[in-house]
Amino acid sequence: MAEILIFGTITGSIYAMLAVGFTLIFGVARILNLAHGSFYALGAYGAYTLTSVVGLPLWLAAILSVLFVAAFGMLVERVLIRPMRASQIAVLMMSLAIALVVEQALFLIFGSEYRNVPAFSDAKFTIAGADVAGQRLLALAVGVVAIVAVYVFIRTTRLGSAILAISQDPEAAQYMGIPSDRIFSVVMGISAALAGLAGVMAGPFLSVNPSMHLLPLVKAFAIVVLGGLGSIPGSIVAAFMLGYAETIVSYTVSTAWTEILSVLVTLVVLVVRPAGLFGRRAAF
């Protein structure tokens, strides 16, 4: 039971970073970003490149990698998504194309081999009889801090208030002089940074390869469907629910079933409660 609680919490924190970024951009810009998993992959590969190739300290490589992913997300929004925002189908197709391009670029640059991202901590800890790697505990701590920081930023800052206004009524916010294009760009940067941070923190204990973008996207989509599209509290709750569920299935049945669990959750929720636990109107 202790192992399920500990590892479920760790998994949930990684999923929460992915899902909060995914639901944030939907809640503000009404965009389902299929390239979200690519930000996760770029975060992991950025940390690998800056440490193993360039030789930077891991802490500096992590910061630079997250900043690069955030800048890349803002560039994607400004150059590729913004001109097509009027058509949701066009945005979906463009974000899918971006994901495929990033995947093929990673294949060309790094090949198909799995890469090892260095861990911040090689220590082992025993908690309630369960052996836990220090890197996993650090990923949990960073995930909690990042999510709380984003929530506080949105709730307490002037820019956060503008994000709230855009998410609730874009047209009224524009009449009040809030620059929606700038807000969309900032939100895309935050969304990409959260996904990149998840990649940096999870890279040392999860597989890093050019196709790694797909599974996080599936997980994030399942979580926001369960929690309610556009709802950050719903995404956080759903992320930990899925993390615990996958850990239970992994311990009681098989790890092979954890990959299909998120798909089954998505299908069941779409049939039973399409609005999810909180629904879009509960955003932020």
Please check whether residue 56 lies inside any domain of the structure: yes
Please check whether residue 47 lies inside any domain of the structure: yes
Total domains present in the chain: 1
Please check whether residue 227 lies inside any domain of the structure: no
* pLDDT, tens digit (0-9, with 9 covering 90-100), for 7-21: 888 888 999 999 998
Instruction: Tell me the pTM.
Output: 0.89
Question: What gap in Å lies between CA 149 and CA 155, rounded to an integer?
Answer: 10
* pLDDT, tens digit (0-9, with 9 covering 90-100), for 133-171: 888 889 999 999 999 999 899 888 988 888 888 887 777
Confidence of residue 282 (pLDDT cuts 50, 70, 90): very low
Please check whether residue 158 lies inside any domain of the structure: yes
**Long-range contacts from 147-156, C-beta under 8 angstroms, 24+ separation:** 147/13, 147/16, 147/17, 147/20, 147/236, 150/20, 150/24, 150/190, 150/194, 150/232, 151/232, 151/284, 154/232, 154/284, 155/284
Please check whether residue 197 lies inside any domain of the structure: yes
> Could you tell me the two tokens for 19?
């899902």
What is the mean predicted confidence (pLDDT) over 120-125?
83
Q: Which domain holds residue 145?
A: 2-212
Question: What gap in Å lies between CA 180 and CA 170, rounded to an integer?
Answer: 7
Please check whether residue 65 lies inside any domain of the structure: yes
Please check whether residue 22 lies inside any domain of the structure: yes
Residues whose CB falls within 8 Å of the CB of residue 218, separated by 6 or more in sequence, listed in order: 262, 263
* pLDDT, tens digit (0-9, with 9 covering 90-100), for 34-82: 999 999 999 999 999 999 888 899 999 999 999 999 999 999 999 999 8
Instruction: Count the alpha carbons within 13 Å of 244 in the hemisphere toward its beta carbon.
Output: 9
Please check whether residue 276 lies inside any domain of the structure: no
